[in-house]
Structure 1
Amino acid sequence: MAEDVFRIVGTTQGAFKVERVVAEGGFGVVYRAYHEAFRAPVALKCLKVPETLPEQLRAQFLDKFREEAELLFRLSAAIPAVVRPLHHDVISAATGVFVPFIALEWLEGGTLANHIASRAARGAPPLSPVEVIRLLTPVARALEAAHHFPGPSGPTCVVHRDLKPANIFLAQIHGAEVVKILDFGIARARDAATVMAGQTATTSGGLSTAFTPAYGAPEQWAPKRFGKTGPWTDVWGLAVTAVEALAGREIIAGDHVAMMGTVLDEKRRPTPRSEGILVPDVLEAAFRRALAVDPRERFRDIGAFWDEVEQALGLPRSAPPIAVPSRSHAPPAARSRPSAFPAPPPPPRATRAPDLLQSPGLTAPAPLAATRELDLPERGGRLPPHSMPTEPVVPLALDWSPPAPAPFARPSYAPSRMPPSMMERAPARPSLSTAELMAMFALPVRLAGAGVVITLLDLAAASLLFDGRRIGVGPIGLFHVAVGLVVLGIGIAVFRLFSSDR
């Protein structure tokens, strides 16, 4: 049973009469309360803010917390699958602690995690691929919309970063099951307060994390190696959630070292077939790409990932709840080598954006950087290894990164893991289109063809007109000219192929 750590059960906080504790986690406590003005139940999510937060910084923190709540309100207004906020304020707890909270719509039902566990407990088989994809389609399209959300100065990329079955709620609304995404955000608010208070927190295993370990992407486990988080992180979270629903159990488990080893193991990815689930080849390939260790080998767009999944199962293509910029229906990785498409920038000085609400879970704060995308080196450049700001920036970091990140060189790897000769890799060249190939080899083909035609004419003339004698001038015959044209054509083709910038 969750504990009433703030001692507010039975009290009235503004318009909210607090009834009972619903859940508690590392980030906060969720209460059920009664909204006396609306005469309806609501969920109060209260943050565990460090008591050492100085008084002069609380107002500054609340301003940033308000920005989080306002963005969440705009998200939920445009995207029905995002849980709706109703109010935000500060509770006057009996203990005298500083307790920011946000009131959310009350949902009847249970999380996807509970649904998976209950099916396993009663011996029911896991959900089928079609059932899982149909169930998660509102989540995928909601995330696609959030990654391209209209902002005051253009599209804004709002990333969840902690997608998991516990953050997907199967609500019963007017007799229908409606899927809702929980926790687009409060976790980073709590992290900001911790940074402002000058504190750090680590898990029991000594690892500092700001994510749920069983669902953390490689770039969350090893940001110095794989770069910052972004839409590709939600691709990972959605893929792991789908595989877990297909398997009917948690697929990444153990202590922190074991989970990190599973996530970063390039030889075995947690795809459906790796978990003993029979799926079509095309579907397995889509999940393998979505669960790639290197973020640049993953789908750059969660909508593109879901398009392939639906197509693999023969389902009609769904659409996001709002208009998003046009994109390729297949990820660039399907047409070229992985590093050929835009990739997340290297980790240092990259924006660590807030997740709007984050659910109770095994989490701890991480340093925050600036609110908007910071200046990065020119394409192909690398940042110095220790360029992360030493002074924490106070504002909550809304991720204003553009939805489609620009291509950068592979983040530098630690010298102990990779020899220096391999640390600078030129981007792989994408494969050429049919039209480009035809243009490149048009002249070589004509030369070689001319040589073949001349050879045939020479043979025909020699046999029909000159009694077997070849046409020529001195020692040089027409046949030699033909061979020279063929060799010249082949030489030009090889030269163009290996000297092309493409």
Structure 2
Amino acid sequence: MTSLIGQRYEIQDQLGQGGMQDVRRALDRKLEREVALKTPLSTSAAKRFESSAQLSARVRHPNIASALDYFIDGNTEYFAEELIKGIDLQKCFDNHFTRLCPDTAAKLLHNLAKGVAASHQVGVIHRDLKPSNIMVSKDLSFTMVKITDFGIAKLAELQIEADLKNQHENSATSSTLIGALPFMAPEAVAKASGKVQLGPKMDVWALGAIAYYMLTGKHPFGPDITAVVGILSGTPPKEPDKHIMGGATHKVASDLWAIILQCMKNSPDERPTASELAELCKAMRYLDKPRVTVEITGKDPNTPVWFGCFGQETIALPHAEFIHGTPALNRRVSCFAFDGKPYPRGVAVMQLK
């Protein structure tokens, strides 16, 4: 008979391991549901693991992974969190997308802002917002988006501060710092000096940096420790390329860029609150539809229209609707599908990797 952790959880397999915690898929035998079961990996993480779980449990929102349980079995602490059956946004970029279309980026930012606003209303700051802490639909439809690691992020912040203080002495900076740094607000980077008080607006800056990454496929000031100079400079990131800001999606792209600039103001006082950010996003007239993944199967010899299939359906892909990448047979693309005759029509087509 398989032994149960905490007389309740049966380990299924490992989901991942970061600098702070180990994450495994487990089956809750009492409620017959799968959960993400987390344990601290370091002594410093273990010291704050219970309080981090308590922080996470205070936040309840559809766009935030739910805290389910905390317990100690033997000498090991465990934190059970809602198991999100999706893909994290960083892997989404690593494996599939070069960037997102403005409509999808705006939609995701809106949902993220609503989740962060809910956490701020109960006094919880995430502190470590980045693409790897954001889960989206595995089928790349972006119908689901959830923020993870609300509680554990405080542990990450302490590790990051230590790494920033020591990085001039140790060139091998931690994976925790490398992943977080491009999305850290100026005051979070400067806190290594011990002179800065952090507040909820650091999360708003991070959301702006994530939105920039989604819109352009690039980090605002660089992908690693080199981003520090740009982050602390007080200057805005480079404006997105003209091909991103133009075309049929130019209005949403322009509105999103303006919001990004507000979020990434150097002074926290000049940034919107997360609730205000959610309202700004709500005012954008972005297209709120699921995206579908299509394989290109052919081209009309007489018109600039390509064809593809998703499931058992054929879809028409007008060349003019390709906003990223050149059409090619057997390539995967992502698009919005609209009713049409004789076939549905693909809009805002993005070529996938």
TM-score, normalisation: structure 2: 0.65
> Paired residue for 2:136, among 156, 170, 177?
170
> Paired residue for 1:248, among 189, 214, 217?
217
Which residue of the partner structure matches residue 297 of structure 1?
270
Q: Does structure 2 conserve the Cα–Cα contact (< 8 Å) formed by 1:219 and 1:226? A: no
**What CA distance in whole angstroms lies between the structure 2 residues aligned with 1:183 and 1:49?**
16
Shift of 1:251: 4.2
Q: Does structure 2 conserve the Cα–Cα contact (< 8 Å) formed by 1:47 and 1:186? A: no
**Code of the aligned partner of 1:118:** N
Change (3 A) 1:135 1:231: same
Change (3 A) 1:31 1:310: same
**Code of the aligned partner of 2:71:** D
Shift of 1:190: 7.5
Q: How does 1:430-449 map to 2 (within 5 A)?
A: none
> Paired residue for 1:186, among 129, 152, 159?
152
Unaligned runs of at least 5 residues, structure 2: 288-353
Which residue of the partner structure matches residue 82 of structure 1?
64
User: Can you list the C-alpha shifts for 1:404-439, whole angstroms capped at 9, x where unaligned?
Assistant: xxxxxxxxxxxxxxxxxxxxxxxxxxxxxxxxxxxx
Shift of 1:140: 0.7
Shift of 1:83: 0.8
> Paired residue for 2:227, among 228, 235, 259?
259
Shift of 1:273: 2.5
Q: 2:212 aligns to what SS in structure 1?
A: helix
> Paired residue for 1:277, among 229, 244, 256?
244
Q: 1:137 aligns to what SS in structure 2?
A: helix
**What CA distance in whole angstroms lies between the structure 2 residues aligned with 1:218 and 1:302?**
17
Q: 2:144 aligns to what SS in structure 1?
A: strand
Q: 2:266 aligns to what SS in structure 1?
A: coil
> What's the C-alpha RMSD, in Å, of the aligned pairs?
3.9
Which residue of the partner structure matches residue 285 of structure 2?
314
> Paired residue for 2:103, among 123, 126, 130?
130
Q: How does 1:320-359 map to 2 (within 5 A)?
A: none
Shift of 1:305: 2.7
> Paired residue for 2:54, among 66, 70, 74?
70
Task: State how many pairs are aligned.
Answer: 274
> Paired residue for 2:28, among 18, 32, 35?
35
Q: 1:273 aligns to what SS in structure 2?
A: coil
Q: Does structure 1 conserve the Cα–Cα contact (< 8 Å) formed by 2:213 and 2:220? A: yes
Change (3 A) 1:74 1:230: same
Give % identity. 25
**What CA distance in whole angstroms lies between the structure 1 residues aligned with 2:30 and 2:12?**
16
**Structure with the largest fraction of strand:** 2
Change (3 A) 1:138 1:201: same
Change (3 A) 1:22 1:296: same
1:213 equivalenced with 2:195 (yes/no): no
Shift of 1:25: 1.0
Q: How does 1:396-407 map to 2 (within 5 A)?
A: none
**Code of the aligned partner of 1:288:** L
Which residue of the partner structure matches residue 46 of structure 1?
39
Q: How does 1:3-14 map to 2 (within 5 A)?
A: 12-14=4-6
**What CA distance in whole angstroms lies between the structure 2 residues aligned with 1:169 and 1:288?**
24
Q: Does structure 2 conserve the Cα–Cα contact (< 8 Å) formed by 1:48 and 1:99? A: no
